[in-house]
Every structure is written in C-alpha cells, then in structure tokens.
Structure 1
Amino acid sequence: MRYLIFLSIGLTLLSCKTTSKINSEAPQTEETFEQKNRASVTLLSRIQRLPGVILKNGVPVFTKSESSIQSNIEPLYILNGYAVGNSFESLTGLVESVNVKKIQALSNSDAAFYGVRGASGVIKILTYK
C-alpha cells in the first residue's frame, strides 16, 4: 500500500515538472516565429502596430497629438540610442525592417527625457547590427 502512495506522489511530481518545461518553452517559440516573419512586414507596419500610434498622411504619429495644434509633427526617432530626427523618410534610409530587433513607443512623461524634440512622442528602434 505504501509503495502505491509513493508511486502516485512520484508520478504527480514528474508530471508537474514536465508541464513547467512545456510552458517555459512557449515564449521562445513565439519569439522565433516573430523573428522569422520580420522580413515580410514593413517597418511602417511594425511601427503602426505600436500602442498609441496611427498613420496620418502616410507617416506615423501618436494619437494624443492628433487633437493638438502640433498634429502633423512626427515623433522623434531614436535608432540604437542615437537621435535620427523627426522624419520617417530619413529613418527608412537608415534601417530595414529585417534588421529591427525591437521597437518601443514612448509618449508623455516617458518621452520627456528627450526634451522638446520628443514632445510629439518618441519611437525607439534597436537593431541586430
């Protein structure tokens, strides 16, 4: 009888370990899937997917700035820690979507670090190269 109890407890513990391994591998699979598909998605499309960012006249702008007087000012673009400027056109000449590792949108107090240039928001881009 004791052996049956120990056997059931042992099997229960083994099944818990197996489940935790499966759950820890899931984010890696999702990340790998996104890395494989990054070549087929344009940079503009990837930026447009960021929270609070919309397209206006073909360029990304933050939704908060749409109702303000400065509605046609683009956000500040930061590429690998360096300020590129407030022009999406200049950014597309410097980086391709396939080389982008991470894109982050900053607005309000998060963008205050960049001063007046970041008043319309900041889009930070980190590349593999």
Structure 2
Amino acid sequence: MKAIFKLTSIIFLVLCSISCFSQRIDVRGKVVVFDSIPVVNANVIIKSTKETVKTNHLGVFKCECNEKDKLIVLAKGFNKYTIKVKKKNNELIGKLKLAKIPKAAEIAINKGHILKVDSFKELAKKYSDQKDYSKYTSFMDIIRNEFPSLQISSGEIIIRGKSSFYGSSAANIEIDGVMTDYSTLSNLSPSNIAKIEIVKGSDAAIYGVRGGNGVVKVTTKK
C-alpha cells in the first residue's frame, strides 16, 4: 500500500509540473505615458519568477510568464504600474503616470526613458494643470469642498457678490467651450473632469452679457 501511495504521489507531482509548464505563455507588450509616448528602458518584472526585461526604443517588451501572472513596470519619474496577464490577451499595454514628486518629468527625461522629449514636455505641462477629482461623488460635492465661496440653489450655481439686471444671479456654465446648463454639468463624472475655473469680474467680459454673473468653466479629460 505504501508503494502504491508513493507511486501515486510521484505521478501527481509530475502531472502538476507538466500542467504548470504548459501554462507558460509568450507575451508582448508596450509601455507608454499619456497614452501614446513610448517609455524606453523601463523595467518589466515578472512577478512569478522575478525575472526582469526592459522596454526597447519603441516601449515594447517581450517575455514568457504564467497565463495568470502579473508584470510590475518600474521607471524613474513614474508611478509603479501592474499589468495583469491574461491567456486570451498577450498584447499588453502599460499606461504609466508621472509620479507626484518635484521635477518628475525632468527625472524621466534625464534617466533616458523618453525619446520624444518635446511632445512629452508639452503633455506633461498640460496634465500638470489637471486636478484629480475622482475622490468626489458628484459635481455638487466638488463645489462644496473645492469652491466653498460658491452657492448652489435650485439647480443654479451662484458666485457671491454677483447680481443680474434680468432677475437671476445664476452663473453661466461652459463645458469644453460650449455653453450648457446645470443638468448637463451635474451628470458629469468627477473622474472625467480635468479642470474647473471660476471666471468673474473683468475676466468674464469676453462672454459679453452672458458673463455678467460669472462663468463656471469646466474642461474634461480628452
């Protein structure tokens, strides 16, 4: 009986080893920042084996790993990024974000991670003006916490100190260059908002009569 048990155990272990081996797959991926700019010479660490491969001048990498493995992407100036490997998807994309540290963009360039320097600098400047509003549940929640000087009343946003000859004190609302109403604004997902500006006084003169009560100017993420 002991001999049979040992033999059964050996067969089981062999089958497990064969099964594990058969689950190894070849994957190809690309690491980018701002959705399009390749991140060069980034470290891609295979979690199961701790093996490291690097991205080439196009941000592309190739490796072999388990079908449900994880790849850890590291590059100076960027946040760590984890890619989940799936058997049916061996074309992987790692979308890095600049780390929230001083001169993160300069660090990334100096470490040789960026070859398209001009495009990268332009986008880094653009995105540095964007604020993360995803922690809020609604636009109204954003206004209450980020702009306490504003009032929300009966579906209108009121900039204090403003009044109108037409009987309404409601500020006008602009989303991505288009004038709209509060209902459209309230339906925006906070995570999709890049920037909110309160335009008032002489700065609102470019809107003519419509700017008399100020303008809430919203820019969404493109």
TM-score for both structures, normalised by structure 1: 0.59
1:104 paired with 2:197, answer yes
SS at match of 1:65: coil
Alignment of 1:17-96 (within 5 A): 25=101, 35=132, 38-48=134-144, 49-50=146-147, 52-57=149-154, 59-65=156-162, 72-84=168-180, 87-93=181-187, 95-96=188-189
Q: Which structure is higher in strand share? A: 2
More helix by proportion, 1 or 2? 1
What SS is found at the alignment partner of 1:61? strand
- Whole-Å separation in 1 of the counterparts to 2:134 and 2:216: 18
- Of the three residues 207, 213, 217, the one matched with 1:114 is 207
Divergent runs of 4+, >3 A: 68-73
Higher RCO (CA 8 Å, separation ≥ 6 residues): 1
Structure 2 segments unaligned to the other structure (5+ residues): 1-99, 105-127
Show structure 1 runs of 5+ residues with no match. Answer: 1-23
Larger Rg: 2
Q: Percent identity?
A: 24
Quote the Cα distance in structure 2 between the aligned partners of 1:38 and 1:27.
24
CA RMSD of aligned residues (A): 3.0
Give the TM-score normalised by the residue count of structure 2: 0.37
Give the AA of the match of 1:123. Answer: V
